[in-house]
Chains A and B, each alone.
Chain A
């Protein structure tokens, strides 16, 4: 770990904290409380050529060990909640659980990942994580309306708008979603909300593929090693008919698969039409636990360790079928994480350089080692 220049540690003394988040190695840990604090941190880092990485709950992908870890707990809380307009602006340090507590009162939801209440909004946005309700609601990125961030050159930039419909310029909020802290650090996010007061049912079925085709807009159709389930919501009479048609067993509410925590996370992304075949490949490769989303094309693999030959085989299959396999675990190279660099690497390289000219924002975190 490089020793940081005195001028840098002095400049950031007022935002430095002693508590090092678990699993993080950094020369300095800072906790900003405002976007202005964050801007000062990034500018100082850029001026000294020292890498910064944002840390939420610590479950997010990280690039090379960063000299400065920016914990986002001080950027938590509701900034602007407009339930009648179906929008909410929150700081990135807000946990998903805390967000749900605020939204539950009015029966609203941002439809974020369902099973990790301790994750932060910033982590979800930076990794563009979607939950299981993606089939019915679309991915998380479709619900990000506005972002305020500090770019890699230290400016506070607002992009998008707190409106559910908007085409006003280049939507940076969409670019920065999923950018893994490579273009800067997000300070706050505005989400589009949905009412979620309808009744819900979880239906166990034999054939997920048939259920997908025959049911009108289910919220999710999942398949795990234990079986397949269809998730319905809406009017009870309609759901009665749907359950009858599916010939499945229904329980009230949504019961999501229980995915045990693991230091290794592997996700295969394939075209939805190839999902069933992909599941066969996963099974044949000996993977015992998985959650596959029909109609979406995402399969999360349940593994405890990074097995290079397994990853290579499944990645090769996914890429041949027009998809990808993304692995995250401590100490992976960019190629091990991402596989083949994207088609658009030249444009991405220019974008990265324009937003992070000093190369300090999670360097190496993007595919192609950007």
Chain B
């Protein structure tokens, strides 16, 4: 009996896709790494997921969990022929607790849909990646997703209290809990950000935030990137952590404005999109403070959105940045790197310099408050030698970030794409320790193999290597 026939007996043929045309759609995510899918299954319950995992174990076939496939690092793409477990049918939102401010949510719930469903309760889910109208909560858990509003509220791990997990051997456990400080090791905090390599999350207890009574969104044009960055530093140094602080360079603004027509100042060297939230008196005070500091640094164009529609338009500009770039060239490569905030401008200038050397057009958008950069290269992959230049430049840009104390990923994850760069950040001993975390959950290595850690990471045996 083959795996696919066993799966069809379990789920019915309609929920087991193995026809080449069907699986082609599942063989890629939003990144550039193509994969190899034996079959894709669409379970609807935790018990089905557990049964699927046990079947895969029996047939010794690797398993790859997948949400909406918006990942950029190949995390949801099987590198060797594997079974894709697609969680998009887990769309329930249950047990919304308005006192405790929590809800139990299926991993297939789309991020923006979750917040929209809770608007009536005055609650929302804080992590808001740009892909939030498509990405799923399960995907957010896998990558410890960020988004502009994580500056003040923290990344996904701070918003997950518990997760029901189907382990790589097909058992069902709950990591974390409904009460704080679950006794024992904090496995929950390791599962978040583990990119589908430690098990399959089938249910999540999310933390919900009180939605603010008032909000102000500012769009500020600056005569230089340095003055925009200095404004960000001074705002934070003054004791104010805004809800969001996003920056875009001139090229990115031009692309965005052409696409969205939100009135972005196209002659500014850099643009800051800031948001402050809270009671009205706080919003007024904070808005004034940011505007004052910006003007001190030479900003002559301070615009404050006057209503929800205008606010939404300004944010649309920011969140469609990557799509807007499609006007510039047929292909794009989106970087995700994070550096200490005070080194942002320095690294950005290095990125322009690297781009110039390789003859690539770089556009920049970044989460200015937390040092998370997204340099974007627009190019035409059909041009001979172009892809190689893009990849070589990418590696130099990563190294430049690491040299100033940065790391490999702020929010997209390592996936397959960056696993071989891990030795730039961690020693062999560090990687071996991380491999032990993986081994504790997945001794057989069947769950999303070849992701996060380079091959051969688990190299020291229990007795250790004495130097």
Contact = CB atoms under 8 A, between A and B. Distances in A.
A272 B282 contact: no
Contact of B193 (A134, A167, A267, A296): A167
B100 A271 contact: yes
Contacts of A154: 464
A63 interface: no
Interface string A232-253: 0011011001100000000000
B212 interface: yes
17 contacts: A82-B342, A138-B158, A155-B429, A155-B433, A158-B426, A161-B407, A163-B371, A164-B370, A168-B407, A175-B186, A177-B189, A216-B279, A238-B281, A272-B97, A298-B181, A350-B439, A357-B463
Interface in A40-94: 43, 46, 82, 84-87
B460 interface: yes
Contacts of A367: 183-184
A237 B285 contact: yes
A350 B440 contact: yes
B409 A198 contact: no
A104 interface: no
Interface in A203-224: 209, 212-213, 216-217
Given A183-B185, A195-B239, 13 more contacts: A84-B236, A164-B341, A165-B371, A172-B437, A174-B186, A175-B185, A175-B187, A177-B186, A235-B282, A238-B278, A322-B178, A343-B173, A350-B439
A342 interface: yes
A151 B237 CA distance: 37
A254 interface: no
B452 interface: yes
Contacts of A179: 185-186
Contact of A142 (B154, B182, B185): B154
Given A272-B99, A344-B187, A163 B177 contact: no
A87 B422 CA distance: 23
A269 B414 contact: no
Contacts of A195: 236-241
A350 B462 CA distance: 13
B413 interface: yes
A161 B297 CA distance: 31
A346 to B, nearest CB: 8
A33 B405 CA distance: 25
A132 interface: no
B429 A156 contact: yes
A354 interface: yes
Contacts of A155: 429, 432-433, 460, 464
Contacts of A366: 184-185
B179 interface: yes
Contacts of A368: 184
Nearest to B453: A169
A171 interface: yes
Interface residues of A, number: 92
A159 B422 CA distance: 12
A213 B99 contact: yes
A246 to B, nearest CB: 13
B202 interface: no
Interface residues of B, number: 93
A288 interface: no
A46 B98 CA distance: 50
A234 B180 CA distance: 26
Name the residue among A235, A269, A324, A366 with the largest chain B CB count within 10 angstroms.
A235
B157 interface: yes
Contacts of B439: 350, 354
Interface in B273-315: 278-279, 281-282, 285-286
A344 B282 contact: no
A284 interface: no
A227 interface: no
Interface string B80-101: 0000000000000000011111
A318 B175 CA distance: 18
Given A43-B466, A175-B186, A216-B213, A324 B181 contact: yes
B249 to A, nearest CB: 20
A201 interface: no
A170 B190 contact: yes
A165 B186 contact: no
B183 A324 contact: yes
Given A138-B154, A165-B410, A216-B278, A158 B430 contact: yes
A32 interface: no
B436 interface: yes
Interface in A121-175: 128, 130, 134, 138-139, 141-142, 151, 153-159, 161-172, 174-175
A165 B372 contact: yes
B339 interface: yes
B99 A178 contact: no
A176 to B, nearest CB: 9
B5 interface: no
B349 interface: no
B183 A339 contact: yes
A128 B185 CA distance: 10
B26 to A, nearest CB: 24
Interface in B224-251: 233, 236-241
Nearest to B194: A170
Name the residue among B146, B171, B186, B210 with the largest chain A CB count within 10 angstroms.
B186
